[in-house]
Amino acid sequence: MPQQQATQRRDSLCLFSRAWSERKRSVLLSCASPVTLAFATELARDGTTDSRASSSPRRPMTKTPNSLRTLLSAYVLTTAMCALFIPAAWSAMCIDGNGDGTTSAFDAQLALNQAVGLTDCGRMRIVVIPDTQLAVESRSGQLEAQIDWLLQERPDFVAHVGDIVQHGDVEREWRYAGAQFGRLDGVVPYGLAVGNHDQDPPEDPSEGSTTKYRRFFGSNRFAATQFSALFDRGDSHASLVGTGLLVLFIEFGAASDPDLLEWARGIIADHPERLVAIVTHHAVNAENTGLSPDGQAIANNLADLPNLRFVFAGHVHTGELNPPYEGCIENRATFNGVWFITHNCQADGRNGAGWLRIYDIDTRAKTLSATTYSPWLRKFDKDEQSKWVVEYGAAQ
């Protein structure tokens, strides 16, 4: 019974949160109106009032059904939430999710959820960082601006698609990247995939090629906080995010390793209740000409798992831009209902210009929404390929 009551309270909060964020009207009206409407509807349906009620205001109600008591409790609770938490929620709404000076409904609900401690309303925000190799090599301020923004916004998870550095054998680049990402430690959960530039020699996933990656971003850095599983040396690993997401990071060039695929399949199968995303460096070829060898290996061996839904990648920066917007490349493909998405901005000409990809996942509507923002430029990219919504979950 206590568990059922807790579930009812959570559902009431989730429903209220959605209604409030989508209305974005006056604070008290937004809080009270959804529950008030539901209360009136339930009252009429249960027949607890009749025509004499309006002419005899002192006539008491003869019964108070459980459903009415629940709604009445929700009314009182949501009104109290307005008074206590709305100011905190509004102050937390720093993301212009619409890119036009207004706050999106998702942003509003996310802020409210965070203010009241809701974590299981079916919505998550992941920020994916594309290749930072040029920004790290030049130390031109883009990475610092990205980290500053992430510390301010605090998404559910941050994932880097690899090519953290330009030269896998240059320690000063690793030290700089390590110091910047270290600012997120204990504040925002994150993980980084191994790209071909992170290997020494490049494009070599063999033993010894990721010594510096493991030194600065290996299991010794994350194991105590978020790593749930490591493969071999830890160049591929898995992270549990909140109560509903599992993120696997797979090293560049390693996806064809049968042992790695078996490990990944086992991790995903062990968490059937979680939505799964894979982050790897190269998944979709330039100009949408098909999946890369790593992408194809993931598709052939893991895409049949029902909870794997997304593969996020970068790497591609040659060939005709598809389409050319702000120097970024956007390629998307589907395989058995899994979205393979490449987003990379290093060809921008400004060392990547600090672009970030913001993904909002709605597990109830089964949608993935994307927006693209640069804290360095302090603007959203409004190109049609930088802001979109797709459905997931059905085989294509």
| CA 18 – CA 154 distance, rounded (Å) | 20
**Which domain covers residue 264, as residue numbers?**
123-391
Mean pLDDT of the chain: 74
Domain boundary among 116, 143, 169: 116
In a domain, 181, yes or no: yes
| CA 78 – CA 246 distance, rounded (Å) | 32
pLDDT at 9: 53
Q: Count of domains in the chain?
A: 2
Q: How is 103-133 classified by DSSP, letter by letter?
A: --HHHHHHHHHHHHT---SSEEEEEEE---H
In a domain, 302, yes or no: yes
| CA 253 – CA 273 distance, rounded (Å) | 29
What are the φ and ψ backbone dihedral angles of 135, each rounded to 5 degrees?
-65, -40
Label residue 354 by pLDDT band (50, 70, 90).
confident
Domain boundary among 59, 87, 116: 116
In a domain, 357, yes or no: yes
Task: Select the more confidently predicted residue: 35 or 262.
Answer: 262
In a domain, 206, yes or no: yes
Which tokens hold the place of 176?
């700089």
Indicate the DSSP class of residue 142.
Answer: H
In a domain, 281, yes or no: yes
Same domain, 165 and 246: yes
| Span 155-182, pLDDT tens digits | 999 999 999 999 988 999 999 999 999 9
Domain boundary among 63, 81, 116: 116
Same domain, 200 and 273: yes
CATH of the domain at 362: 3.60.21.10
Of 130-139, 271-280, 361-370, 376-385, the least confident: 376-385
CB atoms near residue 258 (< 10 Å): 9
Same domain, 184 and 153: yes
Nearest Cα to Cα of residue 127 among 295, 289, 361 = 361
| CA 123 – CA 132 distance, rounded (Å) | 27
Same domain, 30 and 161: no
pLDDT at 228: 64
What are the φ and ψ backbone dihedral angles of 370, each rounded to 5 degrees?
-120, 135
**159, amino acid identity:** A
In a domain, 396, yes or no: no
| Span 76-127, pLDDT tens digits | 566 555 544 444 443 333 344 444 444 444 444 445 444 444 445 688 999 9
Same domain, 110 and 176: no
- Dihedral (C-alpha) 162, 238, 360, 393: value to the nearest 10 degrees? 110
In a domain, 169, yes or no: yes
Return the residue matching tokens 């399949």. Answer: 265
Residues 283 and 163: beta-carbon distance below 8 Å: no
Label residue 52 by pLDDT band (50, 70, 90).
very low
**177, amino acid identity:** A
Same domain, 241 and 130: yes
Same domain, 275 and 346: yes
In a domain, 361, yes or no: yes
Same domain, 223 and 301: yes
Indicate the DSSP class of residue 367.
Answer: E
Same domain, 109 and 142: no
- pLDDT for residue 310 is more than 60: yes
Same domain, 315 and 196: yes
CA distances from 168 to 23, 165, 172, 198, 201 (A): 50, 6, 10, 4, 7
| CA 46 – CA 65 distance, rounded (Å) | 8
Same domain, 281 and 176: yes
| CA 191 – CA 247 distance, rounded (Å) | 9
Task: Select the more confidently predicted residue: 2 or 349.
Answer: 349
| CA 148 – CA 392 distance, rounded (Å) | 31
Same domain, 54 and 195: no
CA 267 to the chain's CA centroid: 20
